[in-house]
Amino acid sequence: MGRNREYADNADRQRAYRERKKAEEAWLREELRRARSAGLPPRKRTRRVPAWKRRPVPDELLKKLARVMNMLGSPYDYERDNASRAAAKMVKDAGVDWFDILNIPDDE
């Protein structure tokens, strides 16, 4: 049953919705079964590093990030996109995260 189909009444529409949901759930269960049988590792959960274990952020990185972040106010989409990608790459390459850069304390 397609989504643009004319239904006789609301009950018919609800029945079709439940059938679509059942089919979608069955497909998802099958995909999960396939992934497990293929031996794919479980998704890795990321944890925030406590403040006392964090690495200090180099001043050169902060200066470079300030220049790149200034480009986020550009009226051109491609400049904003490239600036955000460059900033994310700089942070990742430095081995720190945005919590370190922004000096956000843990919620512990």
Burial of 107 (0-12, 13-18, 19+ CB in 10 A): exposed
Can you give the pLDDT at residue 108?
Answer: 46
**Nearest residue to 64 via CA among 86, 97, 95, 92:** 86
Burial of 91 (0-12, 13-18, 19+ CB in 10 A): middle
What pTM value is reported for the model? Answer: 0.48
33 pLDDT band (50/70/90 cuts)?
Answer: confident
- Region of poorest pLDDT, from 7-16, 46-55, 84-93: 46-55
Can you give the pLDDT at residue 34?
Answer: 81
Q: What is the mean pLDDT of the segment spanning 79-95?
A: 92
Q: Are 65 and 96 in contact (CB under 8 A)?
A: no
DSSP 3-state of 10: helix
> Computed from CA positions of residues 24, 28, 31, 37, in that sequence, does the dihedral angle turn out positive or negative?
negative
90 vs 6, higher pLDDT: 90
Can you give the pLDDT at residue 3?
Answer: 59
Q: Are 72 and 88 in contact (CB under 8 A)?
A: no
**pLDDT exceeding 90 applies to what percent of the chain?**
35
